C-alpha cells in the first residue's frame, strides 16, 4: 500500500467503472482507473452518432472530467492485457499496475458467434470509431450510388442497408437510418430513392424480447411504416461484403451490414485468472468477487461479469443499470474488506424496465407503465439526458434533440475518412 492508503485499481471506464470510481473517490483510498480510451462512452446513444444526430464529443466524455475534484482518482490510459492475481498486478501495454483491490469492469464487445466472414465485413456497433465508420460509410454509399457509371444492380446493392439484431440497438439503428435516408433523399437530385431498401433481421420470432408482446408488435408496425422490412425468424450465415447469405439460402446483395445481434465479454477477460462463461464473462460469486480469486481481492461487475440471476438461472442483461447497481455492492464489499469485515453483501438485481426509441417522436416503454408514441419518446429522452455525464453535455444534447425534432436537420452528415487513393 503506497502512502498507507489501500490502492484500488479499476479496469474500464464504462458505466460500472465510472460509478465505482466515483464511490471510491470519497473514501480514503488511492484509485487508478485504467482504460484504453481517455473517454467514457455513453453507448446507448451510439446509434445517434452513427446516423449523424449527435457528434462524438456529445456521447464521449473525458474520464478525467468525472474526477476533476478527486485528486485520489487518476486515469491510466493503457490497454489491459491480463491480471496476475498471485502478484496482485494488472498487466498493460504500458507496464504493470499493482493493486490491493481490483475491480474488473471491462465491458463487452460485439459477438459475431464465430462467423469470421461477418466479423470481417459487417460493422460492429460498440465503439465510437465503429459508429463514425458507419456514418461515413452510409453517407458515402449514396455518393457512390449516384455516380453515372454504376450498373442498376450495383446501385441497388449500395442502397440496401441491413441491420442484424432485434434488440434496442438494432431497432434504434434501423429507425434512425430510415430517418437519415429521408433527409438524404432531399439532397440527391439524380438518385432514384425507390432503390432504397432497409432491412432489420432478427433470428428469433420477436423484436425487443424484454418488452411485453403488444409493444413488440407495435414496434414492428412502426418500423414497417418507416419503410423498414422486418425479417423475423431469420438467421444470417455468411457475408462477404457484397452478398449477405441467410440460413434459408436467400441471398441479399448489400454493401452495408450493421451487426447488433449480440455481445460477449472482451477477450482479455480470459487472462484475468478466473473462469469464463461461454460468452467470455468471468464467473463471480453472489458478492461479486471473481470465483476462485486467489487473494480474495478481485471483483468483477457489469458486462464482463457472469452472474446468475437469482432463481431464474440466466445471465443478467448487458445494460447500464446492472453495472451501476453492481458497482455499489462491489464498492461496499471492498470497503468492508479494507475494514477487516468479511461478511460481504450479496448482489440482488433490481430490474428498472426497458425502453427503446424507434425514431423521432416514437418510443416504447415497458415499465413502470406501458407507453408508446410521443409520451414514451419524451420519457426515453428524459431518462437518457439524466444519465448523460455533465451539465454541459446535457444542455448540448437536449438542444440538439430539440432542433432535430423541430427541423429534422442533421448536422454532421459528413464523410471524414476519405481515402486519397485515386482508385477508391
The binding site for a copy of itself (CB under 8 A) comprises 36-39, 52, 55-58, 60-62, 64-65, 67-68, 71, 74-75, 77, 79, 81, 93-95, 128-129, 132, 139-140, 143, 147-149, 186-190, 390-393, 395-396, 399-400, 403, 407, 409, 411-416, 418, 420, 422-424
For the CB of residue 102, give the shortest distance to a copy of itself in the complex, in Å. 19
Question: Could you give phi then psi for residue 286, rounded to 5 degrees?
Answer: -65, -25
Closest CA to 341 of 351, 333, 349, 350: 333
CA atoms within 13 A on the CB side of 182: 16
Whether residue 306 contacts residue 284, with contact meaning beta carbons closer than 8 Å, is answered with yes
DSSP strand pairing (236-239 vs 243-246): antiparallel
Name the H helices within 147-236.
152-158, 168-185, 213-225
Q: Give SS3 for 138.
A: helix
| Residue 227 vs 390, nearer CB to a copy of itself | 390
Q: How many CB atoms lie within 10 A of CB 232?
A: 15
Pick the catalytic residue: 30, 130, 172, 362?
Answer: 172
| Residue 4 vs 148, nearer CB to a copy of itself | 148
| Residue 147 vs 251, nearer CB to a copy of itself | 147
Name, in order, each residue with C-beta under 8 angstroms of 252's C-beta and a sequence gap of 6 or more: 160, 162, 199, 243, 244, 245, 246
| Residue 77 vs 379, nearer CB to a copy of itself | 77
| Residue 38 vs 287, nearer CB to a copy of itself | 38
- Is 172 among the residues known to form the active site? yes
For the CB of residue 418, give the shortest distance to a copy of itself in the complex, in Å. 6
For the CB of residue 84, give the shortest distance to a copy of itself in the complex, in Å. 17
Question: Could you give phi then psi for residue 89, rounded to 5 degrees?
Answer: -130, 145
For the CB of residue 329, give the shortest distance to a copy of itself in the complex, in Å. 28
For the CB of residue 120, give the shortest distance to a copy of itself in the complex, in Å. 16
Closest CA to 205 of 197, 217, 215: 217
Sign of CA dihedral 302, 308, 311, 317: positive
Q: Which residues are tagged catalytic?
A: 172
Amino acid at each position: 500500500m503506497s502512502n498507507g492508503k489501500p490502492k484500488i485499481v479499476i479496469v474500464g471506464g464504462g458505466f460500472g467503472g465510472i460509478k465505482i470510481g466515483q464511490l471510491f473517490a470519497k473514501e480514503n483510498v488511492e484509485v487508478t482507473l485504467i482504460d484504453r480510451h481517455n473517454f467514457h462512452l455513453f453507448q446507448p446513444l451510439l446509434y445517434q452518432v452513427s446516423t449523424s444526430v449527435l457528434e462524438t464529443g456529445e456521447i464521449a466524455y473525458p474520464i478525467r472530467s468525472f474526477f476533476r475534484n478527486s485528486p485520489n482518482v487518476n486515469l491510466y490510459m493503457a490497454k489491459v492485457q491480463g491480471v496476475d492475481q498471485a502478484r496482485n498486478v494488472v498487466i498493460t501495454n504500458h507496464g504493470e499496475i499493482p493493486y490491493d483491490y481490483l475491480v474488473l469492469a471491462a465491458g463487452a464487445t460485439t459477438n459475431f458467434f464465430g462467423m469470421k466472414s461477418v466479423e470481417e465485413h459487417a460493422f460492429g456497433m460498440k465503439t465510437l470509431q465503429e459508429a463514425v465508420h458507419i456514418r461515413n460509410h452510409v453517407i458515402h454509399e449514396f455518393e457512390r450510388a449516384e455516380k453515372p457509371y454504376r450498373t442498376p444492380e450495383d446501385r441497388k446493392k449500395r442502397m440496401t442497408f441491413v441491420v442484424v439484431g432485434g434488440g434496442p440497438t438494432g431497432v434504434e439503428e434501423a429507425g434512425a437510418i430510415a430517418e437519415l435516408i429521408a433527409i438524404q433523399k432531399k439532397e440527391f437530385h439524380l438518385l432514384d430513392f425507390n432503390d432504397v431498401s432497409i432491412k432489420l433481421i432478427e433470428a428469433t420470432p420477436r423484436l425487443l424480447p424484454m418488452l411485453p408482446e403488444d409493444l413488440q408488435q407495435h414496434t414492428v408496425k412502426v418500423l414497417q411504416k418507416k419503410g423498414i422490412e422486418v425479417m423475423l425468424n431469420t438467421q444470417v450465415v455468411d457475408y462477404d461484403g457484397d452478398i449477405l447469405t441467410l440460413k434459408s439460402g436467400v441471398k441479399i446483395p448489400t454493401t452495408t451490414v450493421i451487426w447488433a445481434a449480440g455481445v460477449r465479454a472482451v477477450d482479455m477477460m480470459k487472462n484475468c485468472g478466473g473462469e469464463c462463461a461461454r460468452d467470455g464473462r468471468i464467473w463471480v460469486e453472489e458478492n461479486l468477487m471473481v470465483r476462485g480469486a486467489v487473494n480474495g481481492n478481485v471483483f468483477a461487475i457489469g458486462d464482463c461479469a457472469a452472474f446468475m440471476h437469482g432463481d431464474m438461472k440466466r445471465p443478467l442483461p448487458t445494460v447500464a443499470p446492472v453495472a451501476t447497481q453492481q458497482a455499489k455492492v462491489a464498492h461496499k464489499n471492498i470497503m468492508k474488506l479494507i475494514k477487516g469485515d468479511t461478511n460481504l453483501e450479496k448482489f440482488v438485481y433490481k430490474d428498472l424496465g426497458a425502453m427503446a426509441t424507434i425514431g423521432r417522436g416514437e418510443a416504447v416503454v415497458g415499465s413502470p407503465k406501458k407507453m408508446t408514441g410521443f409520451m414514451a419518446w419524451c420519457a426515453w429522452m428524459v431518462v437518457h439526458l439524466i444519465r448523460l455525464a455533465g451539465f454541459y453535455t446535457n444542455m448540448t444534447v437536449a438542444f440538439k434533440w430539440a432542433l432535430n425534432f423541430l427541423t429534422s436537420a442533421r448536422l454532421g452528415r459528413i464523410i471524414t475518412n476519405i481515402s486519397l487513393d485515386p482508385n477508391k
